[in-house]
Chain A
Amino acid sequence: MPSFTLKIRRYLPESGDAPFWQEFDVDLEGHRSVLEGILTAKAREDGSIGIRCSCRAAICGSCGVLINGRTRLACNTHLAEAVRESPEDGKIIVEPMNNMPVLKDLIVDMDAVHWKKIQRVTPWLLPEGPPPEREYVVPHENMVDVTQSMACIQCGACVSACLSMEVDPLFIGPAALAKAYRFVGDPRDGAQYERVKDLAEDPAGIYDCTHCFACIDACPKGVAPMSQIMRLRRVASRDHDIEDRNNGYRHEHAFVENIERNGLLHEADLLPDSYGGKLHPRAVPELIDSLPVVAKGLARRKITPGKALLHPHRRHYKDVRKLFKKVQAKDEPLELNLYIVGYEEEEEAAR
């Protein structure tokens, strides 16, 4: 039977010692999971290893850990796969998740971070008016729309991977915002406007996501929290025209209009426009704040005044403008969610 080495980051709060590394060799088949590896080490070598688990089948969401630096479910990762991805010769590196305080060994404080943030988004239905006499009747398409966010098993892997949260612990974060979309997209909910208004105005809300895809990669259930956040932004800005104080709405509109005007991004306009236009009171302090940078750019001929002020006019961008008009004139723009419709055609070797 093959042997695998698990290098586990231990932390025993009662000992008063700093975290330390400990290695365990386990004899198991490669198709067994990292969780089974940890439990084998616990059973045979050291009963004090702390890990949460229950279902062992990627359902309960308790066994999130870092494996070789990436957040995964321990029960959903094969030993053989983990060892192939190891940056340290043949050792599988197991650590507690990021962005949450460690309680002991591989156990993090989900209450202090993950669950608190879930509560922040009012994770229950707020129906409007008196309940119907019998059940609510909901169009099928609407429920399909929220199924992706309903697939969440609350494992916190996305929270651990989130790069915005790493620098801004207040950020509401991927799991909670995906949960928010579950109700924002539910036709029975009567508080759609209030929900998205709240999340757009909160400096730690939907506009605090840095679009890094880390949550999409980390999620074992295909929830794609970042995509749900982008849908929340669409509901806030397109359906409710919420001009938030975080410049989210203005930035998005400035960007789209910029491309519509120029075909290519014209950055010199983007910054002031994102703050509401060059003469907008919000733009002035921002521009002054950025002045040293702009001045340096000018000095190094990085930003040439000609380029900054006059975008070279390109005739053929008329075609682009026409395209914008055509698509934006549609009442119901097309949206394809691959999670729901799946891949209709065989994926060809396009790569």
Chain B
Amino acid sequence: MKVAYWPGCVSRGFTPELHGAMEKVAPLLDIELVELDRAACCGAGVIAEHSQELADTLNARTFALAQQTGEALMMNICSTCQGSMSECQERLDANAEYRMAINDNLRDEGLRYEKPVTNKNLAWVLVEEIGLDELAARVRRPLSGLKVGPFYGCYIVRPRERLGIDEERPRHTYLHRIIETLGGTVIDYAGQYKCCGFPIITMNKEASLRQAGRHLGDAVDAHADCLVTPCPLCHLNLDLQQPLAERVVGRELNLPVLHLPQLLGLALGLEPKELGLGRHVVKPTSVIDWSQSVVATATA
């Protein structure tokens, strides 16, 4: 399967291990990544807050670039990209006059967005395009015994209607189902659908870190070995800022947080090091130990 691939900014900036892991995992799933290297930031909601027209223009441009590749499907690996892009797409697709006006901004570059584009996060691609049976067949190192808490990120679960979440496509359960398919144990905990707090980290640091700290703490109390998230911005608050979050909530957390492609990679047989697990602030020792213990039992 070939996809127009939008990695996003953070996956190549502060969490380079995310994009790196995706590149390693893709061939194991027969996904060919056609990277959109000219596309710009989705705006993460902040540009839209400043100017809706600017955000819609930037994303219409990305959609146009994706359509130019000729691939039917565009894939992203960031909840925040999914949410901000879906928001812009909703406006662009709803009104022809508006779409024309936005396309007019792109004329100089010879680009044009024709509705619709199908833009799916990796988690959606796994369930809806590849299929969980197919995924199960490719698992080389089942995550047996590994207790994983899903952390979805706001932008990929709300608002339901815009994101196409309904009974037919229960996208708010996909991480759960992926963890199960990979052989892991799903840990349900209070914070799984809540906000990591990142959007207000520069405005109200205390409230921001309290959110991260609380959800991490809830997952620790539910006995998770690690969390998995499809959002690199959540990863920043949950992993990079975890030492500060510990200070705010006044308890030790030490909970590793994996990117979705890293968890996939482990189950598909890749080594923790190849997947950049050593680059996290909270060392995923429990996960690395686990991967070694299963290798040991396999060779014993």
Contacts and interface: CB of A to CB of B under 8 A. Distances in A.
Interface string A201-233: 001000111111110110000000000001001
Interface stretch (A35-43, A45-53, A127-135, A296-304): A296-304
A300 B61 contact: no
B40 A333 contact: no
A256 interface: yes
A344 B57 CA distance: 20
Contacts of B164: 351
Nearest to B170: A85
A300 B278 contact: yes
Interface in B84-138: 89-91, 93-98, 101-102, 105-106, 108-109, 115-118
A163 to B, nearest CB: 4
5 contacts: A211-B195, A238-B50, A265-B44, A302-B240, A320-B58
B243 to A, nearest CB: 6
Contact of A208 (B52, B160, B204): B204
A168 B195 CA distance: 13
Contacts of A207: 200, 203-204
Given A210-B208, A213-B159, A259-B40, A303 B105 contact: no
B9 interface: yes
B14 A338 contact: no
Given A319-B108, A320-B58, 19 more contacts: A168-B207, A208-B200, A246-B203, A251-B46, A256-B46, A256-B51, A264-B40, A265-B41, A265-B44, A266-B13, A267-B10, A289-B244, A292-B244, A297-B281, A307-B16, A316-B38, A338-B91, A344-B94, A350-B89
Contact of A333 (B53, B203, B208, B240): B53
Interface of A (DSSP majority class): helix
Interface in A272-324: 274-275, 286, 289-290, 292-293, 296-297, 300-303, 307, 314, 316-317, 319-320, 322-324
Nearest to A87: B188
The 3 closest A-B pairs by CB, nearest first: A350-B116, A213-B158, A265-B9
B214 interface: yes
Query: How many residues of B sit at the interface, in one of the four size bands?
Result: 35 or more
Query: How many residues of A sit at the interface, in one of the four size bands?
Result: 35 or more
Contact of A323 (B43, B105, B194): B105
A36 B270 CA distance: 55
Nearest to A343: B94
Contacts of B97: 344
A216 B159 contact: yes
A71 B118 CA distance: 31
Nearest to B169: A351
Most buried by B among A84, A217, A275, A351: A351
A21 to B, nearest CB: 17
Interface string B12-42: 1111110000000000000000000110110
Contacts of A320: 40, 58
A335 interface: yes
A255 B47 contact: yes
B204 A300 contact: no
A328 interface: yes
Contacts of B83: 213
A1 interface: no
A151 to B, nearest CB: 16
B54 interface: yes
Contacts of A301: 279
Nearest to A171: B207
Most buried by B among A314, A322, A323: A323
B158 A212 contact: yes
A163 B94 CA distance: 29
Contacts of B101: 334
A252 interface: yes
